[in-house]
Amino acid sequence: MTDAQGHGRTGVANDGAGSTTRKLLGVALSVAALWAAPAAAQVPTPEAVLGFRPGADSMLASWAQITDYLGRLAAASPRVRLDTVGPTTQGRPYLLATISDPANLARRAALMEAQARLADPRTLDSAAEARLVATQPAVILISCSIHSTEIAASQMALELAHRLATDSALGAALRHVVVLLVPSANPDGIDIVGDWYRRTRGTPYDGTSPPWLYHAYVGHDNNRDWYMLTQVETRHLTRVLYRQWFPEVVYDIHQMGGGGARLFLPPFADPVNPNLDGMLVEAINHVGTAMATALADAGRGGVAHQAQFDLWWHGGNRSAPVRHNMIGILSEAASTRIASPVQLRPDQVRQSARGVNFPLPWAGGWWRLRDIVEYELIASEALVRLAANERAEFVRRFVRAGRNAIEAGRTGSPRAYLIPPGQRDEGARTQLANVLLATGVEVSRARARFTADGRAYPAGTFVIALDQPFRTHVKDLFERQAYPERREYPGGPLLRPYDVTGWTLPLTMGVAVDSVRTPVSADLERLDTAVLAPGSISGRGDVVLLANRSNAEGTAAWRALAAGGTVTFAPEPFEAGGSRWPTGTLVVRGARAVLARAAAELGFDAVAVARAPAAAEAPVVRRVPRVALYRSWNASMDEGWTRWVLERLGVPFTSVADSAVRAGGLRQRFDVVILPGENPAQIRSGRAPGFAPPEYTGGLGEPGAQALRDFLTEGGTVIALDEASLFAIGDLAAPATVVVGGRAPGVRGASQFSAPGSIFEVSVDRSHPVASGMDSVAAIYFVSSPVLDAAPGGRAIASYRREGSPLLSGFVYGADTLSGRAALVEAPVGRGRAILFAFSPQHRGQTNGTFKLLTNAILYGAAQAARSVPGR
C-alpha cells in the first residue's frame, strides 16, 4: 500500500547551496565539531550545533545547518529518524523527520500500512477497526515555513525536534503519537531568504524581502498548488500525505503582517465550503482552541480566531487535507522583519476589540523572532499532547470521515465522473487523471465500451467512482463553485474571499468531464498512472498539417522551428488530404521527422501532404521566435508562473530586467516581449527606493516605456497579461478602452463590479491566428482582471456574451459590466501590435485550456515581425 521503501537515511549536510552558504556552513560545521566532540553520546541541542539559540535576534540557520542538525539528532536519538523525500527544484534535500517512541519507529512500516487502512475504511472489518483504534498511534504532520520569509517555523523545528527527542513528558506522549516534521516545505527558500537577510543585515535594507521569488518559479504561490501539483516540492509532500502516511492532522505554520494579532488560530472564518464534512470543521475548531488554550495557560496573549482565513478555498497545504478527511489547520504569527526584531507602541498595534475571538489582547512592545518560535513551539507541543490524550478519538474520527465520504458517494449525486478519450487535448486529460492519482484518488480505466446514464462511452474512458474515501477532493475540484455574496453589513461593501472563488479543473484545463447519476457498471482496471497513447503522422509528403487542438502541437511547432522548419497559420479554410482544414491550421514545412517523433512522444495525430494551398500573403515563421520575458524586482509570481508554463511548453525565451528594457534597441534583439501580470504602477516604478540596494529598485519608468513604444513602432509584438494590459494601454499607447481596471476616469469600481478569482465563458473569433485550434467558446480565468473594449483599428479576439452572465464557476457581482466586452484584444501600434489579455491565460499553471492563446500569440507576433524586418 505504501512506497516508502527506498528512502535513504540522510547523512550530514550536503545541500548544493550557493557559495555564500557554503562559506557560512564551513564555519558552522567546524564550530559544531568542536562543541559536539566531547559529548558524542549526548543528544545535541540546536544551540550547541548552530552556535546560537533558534530564534536569536538576527540569526538564521541555513538549510545546510538545518540538515546537519537534524542528521546529528537522528544519529543520537532513538526517537528521531530523518529521511530525504527527494531533491528540491534547486537540488537541496527535502527533509522529513519522523519522531516517535523508539518502539513505534521500529514498526514504522506496519504503522504506515495501518494508516493506509484507516484512510480507506473499506479495508477494515469491525474487529480490525477496534484493534487499530486500541493500538494505532495518532499521526500528525507539522509543516514549517512553506513561505520562506515566514521563516521562524524552520528555526523552531530544530528546537521542537530536540524537545521531542529529549523531554520526558513529550516522550511519554510519543508512545501514542507519530510526529512527521517537515522543517520546511520550501527548503530552497530558506537559503534564498536567509542569504538575502545575511547580505543586507545591518545595512539600510536590513529585514527586507529579496527582490526575487523565494521559490524558483512560484514564490508565495507554492501554497496554491496542492491539487495541481506543478512543483516538485508539492509532489514530495503530497506523496507523504496521500500515498505513504495518511496523517490524521496536518498543521501548516505561517506568519502574517506584524501590526495586529500575535497569532491566528482556528476556528477559521466563514464561508465553509459546502463539501466539507461538518465533523471535521468541529475538529478543526477543537484543535485550534486547544492550541490557543495552551498559549493562554503559558501567559501568551494576542491570539485571534475567525479572521481573514476562510474555509472556502481549495489549494492550500491546510485545505487539501480536509478534503482527504484529515484535520487541516494553520497558524499565522505576527511577523518580525525576517530575523530582526520590531517594536510596536500600544497605539501602533492594530488589533480587534476584545471579544470571544480575541480574548487576550497584546499590550505591544518588542516582538522578536524568538517570540514567534515560542508561540509556535507551544502550539506544536499542545497538538502533540492533544493527539496523545485523544488518540483513540482522532483515529476513530478519521475512519468515520472516510465512511461518511464513501456513503455520500454511494447515495448522493453524482455517483461518478467520466473522462472519455478523444478530447481536444489528450495530454490535459492524462494530466488531470494523474494529478488525481497522485493525491490518492482512485481512477479506473474502462477496458471495453459501456453505457452510463443512457450514453455510450468508449474503451479508455477514465472512471472516477465517488464511493471512495477522498470523494470530497474530487468533487470539489470537478464541480462548479458558487461562492456566496457576502457583505460587511447589509448594503455595505463586499467581503473579499481569502483567495479565489472558483477552481473547477475540467473547465480550466479544457477537459470534457461527464457526471453521472447512476452507478457505473463497466469492465474497469484500476490505474497507477495514466499513460498518454502515442500519436502519429499519416499521409505522404513533407508538409505537415497540425490542427493545433492540443498544447502538444504547439510544442511540436517549436521543435520544428528549432530543426529548421517553417510554420504558417492557414489564413483561410482549405481542403487537403481528403479533409477540410480550418483557418488557423498550423502548416509546417521541412520538419516531418521531428514532428513524427513529437507526435509519438506527446500523443497527437497529424496529417502530411505533398503540398498545401499556398497563400502568398500569409506570414511565415522561419526561425525560433526571439521572446523576451520581462522580470521586475517586485518578485512577480505571475512572471514565475509564465516562465514555468513556457518552459513546460518548450518555448525558449530570455528573461529581461528593467535595465535591459530601458537600454532600448529591443527590436534588434526580440520579436516578442511578454509583460506578465503586474499593475501599471508596479511596472512603472518597480521596487520602491529604500527597500533594496539601488540596483534592485525602480521599474521601467519612462525610458523603458519609450523603448517598448519604439519596439512596437518598429514592428515588434508586446503580449500583455492581465493587469499589464493596462500598462500597454496607458503607457505604450495601445488603443483599447478600459471598462474595468486601473484608475482612469469613468472606469467601473469595486462597488459596481467584482470577480476576485472566477471562471468565465467567452466566445472566440476563430478567424484570428491567435485563436488557432480553439473552440468557438472558451473558459478563461479572471482574477480581478481588467475589462476592455477594442478601439477603432483594433480587434477583439475573445468577447463576453451580450445577454446573461458569463460566470461558469466562482463569483461575479455586476455581471452586466461584462456584457459584450472584450477579453482578448489585438491593438495595433505603429508597424507592431499589442496583444492584450484581459484575463490570466496561464493562471498558476492550471489553465491548460488557454495556454494555447499565449503560445499562438507568440507565433503570431513572430510571423508578423518577419514581415517588418528586411532580410528575415
Under the rule (CB under 5 A), what is the footprint of Zn ion?
147, 150, 254
Handedness of CA 591, 594, 598, 599 (dihedral sign): positive
**Which residue number, 321 or 794, has a Cβ lying nearer to Zn ion?**
321
Q: How far is the CB of 220 from Zn ion (least distance, A)?
A: 7
**Which residue number, 45 or 209, has a Cβ lying nearer to Zn ion?**
209
**Which residue number, 236 or 254, has a Cβ lying nearer to Zn ion?**
254
Distance CA 836, CA 712 (A): 13
Q: How far is the CB of 269 from Zn ion (least distance, A)?
A: 16
Q: How far is the CB of 254 from Zn ion (least distance, A)?
A: 3
Sheet with 620-621, edge to edge strand ranges: 537-538, 606-609, 543-546, 586-589, 566-569, 620-621
Q: How far is the CB of 42 from Zn ion (least distance, A)?
A: 35
717-721/832-837 β-pairing: parallel
Q: How far is the CB of 794 from Zn ion (least distance, A)?
A: 41
Amino acid at 753: F
**Which residue number, 333 or 740, has a Cβ lying nearer to Zn ion?**
333
**Which residue number, 317 or 785, has a Cβ lying nearer to Zn ion?**
317
Phi-psi region of 257 (alpha: psi -120 to 50; beta: other; left: phi over 0): beta
Integer angstrom CA distances of residue 685 from 203, 655, 661, 705: 23, 19, 14, 11
C-beta separation of 798 from 609 below 8 A: no
Q: How far is the CB of 667 from Zn ion (least distance, A)?
A: 42
Helices (H), 178-231: 187-200
C-alpha cell at 633: 524586482
249-256/327-334 β-pairing: parallel
**Which residue number, 147 or 662, has a Cβ lying nearer to Zn ion?**
147
**Which residue number, 46 or 321, has a Cβ lying nearer to Zn ion?**
321
**Which residue number, 52 or 498, has a Cβ lying nearer to Zn ion?**
498
Q: How far is the CB of 318 from Zn ion (least distance, A)?
A: 10
Integer angstrom CA distances of residue 671 from 629, 711, 719, 730, 864: 11, 9, 11, 22, 9
Distance CA 418, CA 452 (A): 9
Q: How far is the CB of 7 from Zn ion (least distance, A)?
A: 27
Q: How far is the CB of 334 from Zn ion (least distance, A)?
A: 12
**Which residue number, 77 or 335, has a Cβ lying nearer to Zn ion?**
335
Q: Pick from 101, 161, 102: which is nearest to 391 by CA?
A: 101
Distance CA 835, CA 838 (A): 10
Sheet with 303-304, edge to edge strand ranges: 80-87, 93-99, 177-182, 138-144, 249-256, 327-334, 263-264, 303-304
**Which residue number, 251 or 394, has a Cβ lying nearer to Zn ion?**
251
**Which residue number, 215 or 475, has a Cβ lying nearer to Zn ion?**
215
Distance CA 778, CA 851 (A): 11
Phi-psi region of 605 (alpha: psi -120 to 50; beta: other; left: phi over 0): beta
Q: Pick from 667, 566, 654, 657: which is nearest to 618 by CA?
A: 566
Phi-psi region of 318 (alpha: psi -120 to 50; beta: other; left: phi over 0): alpha
Distance CA 803, CA 689 (A): 48
Q: How far is the CB of 562 from Zn ion (least distance, A)?
A: 40
Q: How far is the CB of 349 from Zn ion (least distance, A)?
A: 21
